[in-house]
Copies of this chain bind each other. A is one copy, B any other.
Amino acid sequence: MSRIAEKRDAQREALIDAAERAIAETGLAALKARDLAAATGISLGGLYNLVGDLDEVVLRVATRTLARLDGVLADSGAGAGTPTERLVAMALAYCRFARDNLALWRALFEHRMASDSVLPDWQTQSQWSAFAHISAPLRDLLPGGDEQERVLLARTLFSAVHGVIALGLEEKVVAVPVEALEKQVGKLVRALCAGLTSGA
């Protein structure tokens, strides 16, 4: 790799760094090419030498966010304990991740709405490792069930937890006590697991 290519790569990284910081601070909607250029010391035109598109920047940031989330979920679900407690731990980890990375996390879901072209490949499942991480404890919880069934259930479980967190973190006006949210999430997962095992 030539010196020039190295510099380009470094600049591109700096660009993504700046975009990540900008989204984290002011949200996806406030991400502007001019601001990004100013923040990195790159000229407006030069930005398009590093990146084809503003969308590409957003996509790269989203990929990073998903990678971090993946790590968090993998760690949180790795511990010992009952399947239920492992699922609870993962849900709480997701909750904390969402709170700590609020704008970046939201960006994952806002972006899809904008680009009406081919949706950016994540959310199609490939990048969403959440389901994969959920699968293991779920298999321990319901060893008898159909595998196909369990895949759907993993998605449902994730969606339910996601819904509670998304709506719980929504109101910006009043600062919702985070502990209350975590408590509800824990309650949800525990009740669900109890209901699933008793009913099956």
Contacts and interface: CB of A to CB of B under 8 A. Distances in A.
Interface in A158-188: 158-164, 166-168, 170-173, 180, 184, 187-188
Given A164-B163, A194-B194, A170 B113 contact: no
A29 B192 contact: no
Interface in A90-117: 110, 112-113
Nearest to A199: B194
Contacts of A113: 29, 110
B199 A190 contact: yes
B180 A191 contact: no
A61 to B, nearest CB: 18
A159 B164 contact: yes
A166 B109 CA distance: 11
A38 interface: no
A159 B168 CA distance: 8
B156 A184 contact: yes
Contact of A196 (B166, B191, B196): B191
A187 B156 contact: yes
Contact of A193 (B170, B172, B195): B195
A191 B184 contact: no
A113 B193 CA distance: 34
Contact of A195 (B124, B166, B173, B191): B191
Nearest to A84: B195
A69 B172 CA distance: 24
Contacts of A167: 155, 158-159, 162-163
A172 B113 CA distance: 11
Given A153-B184, A159-B163, A194-B194, 9 more contacts: A110-B113, A152-B180, A152-B184, A159-B164, A159-B166, A160-B164, A194-B195, A195-B196, A195-B198
